[in-house]
A and B are shown apart, each in its own frame.
Chain A
Amino acid sequence: MSADVSTNTPSKLEKILRAGHLAVTSECGPPRGSDSAAILKKAEMIKDHVDAINITDNQTSVTRLCSLASCIHLKLAGYEPVLQMVVRDRNRIALQSDLLGAASFDINNVLCLSGDHQAFGDNPQGQNVFDLDSMQLIQTVRLMRDDGKFLGGDEIKRPPRMFVGAAANPFADPFEIRVPRLAKKIAAGAEFIQTQCIYNLDKFKEWMKQARDRGLHEKVFILAGLTPFKSAGMAKYMKNRVPGMDVPDEVVKRMSGVPKEKQPEEGIKICIESIQRLKEVEGVKGFHIMAIEWEEKVPRIVEEAGLYPRPQA
């Protein structure tokens, strides 16, 4: 890669995107215990096939090893982590403090999220925080990075240098504000977007078109989110049970149309085909492959989707 690509941060993900390559990211969920080997093992499986690895932050509100410590393990092993941060569990003091903690290990990517409501997790009786919202967390990271200031106004010695990401769900309701909401996140300071899992490609294309109409695709790097189905049951579950998920009937039908033992294969095929179709969509700058507890399949998906080898940064 040429050295003259100008970046805001030392992030490898940013370099690859700014150099014009299609980026590939993936995610790993930390273990429900303190064994760092569990997270390293997952990362090991995918490290040569992705540019950066997101570490989820107590996803679905189930208590796990923290995202920050997991990212540190990854960083120390030489990988490129994306620190996911939800605003559900920490107030602005803790969020800023953890951002500095991450920066002290030169963790250079952050994904700012609201977080699932705690009602879904293992501590539904817990208090939630939501001192900031995800939009305001984006602003906070940018303030800390660009102005070198805390929210309280004081100066930060050695500010964090993080490439700032946000999530977007093109399928949630109300649909008419999905693109304005993207614009809002960009205005707040988001530099890259990782979308919700895409199964309804037509609806996603409609969303991208609206984003292009406003020129948003040139202001932010949009990484299309994908999760391969392991089974027809999973497809039905995602369709009916997961809030904000849009799984069209024909996709469920396609999964159910093959014998059970062939369903994992079909799920991977659908994922690869989707990537190939999404590559043609103007404004898609990369892919975020969330193979939930199925990390071993990521290399094959990346290879067969024609995204391998990964560029060096």
Chain B
Amino acid sequence: MRLRYPGSIRIVRVPCTGKVDIIHILRAFEKGADGVYVVGCMEGDCRFNRGNLRARKRVEEARRILEIIGIEGDRVRMFNLSSGEGPKFAQYAVEMTEKIQSLGPNPIRAKARRKAA
């Protein structure tokens, strides 16, 4: 299909979104990511039954923690699609990128840079 999606996105493959933990999401922000989104299978279609549902809850928890420490919760999000939906994958990538661009850079990275300068 040769679909295009924004080049600013770095993909981390996991066997199932159920493998993604809150700490992985937080570490990504700590290391300077501007946003994190988790793309899982359609709800109800998890090969491991509940992996994507667990992921969603963890994404919500990560969002809650980020809000508390002063980072916009909208920087983290969960999407669901089926394996045949390449165009949707690209569409979500664009959607997320636009959202992050509207929010600007990760505030802690911005501050660290200011400090270094």
A touches B in complex, CB < 8 A: no
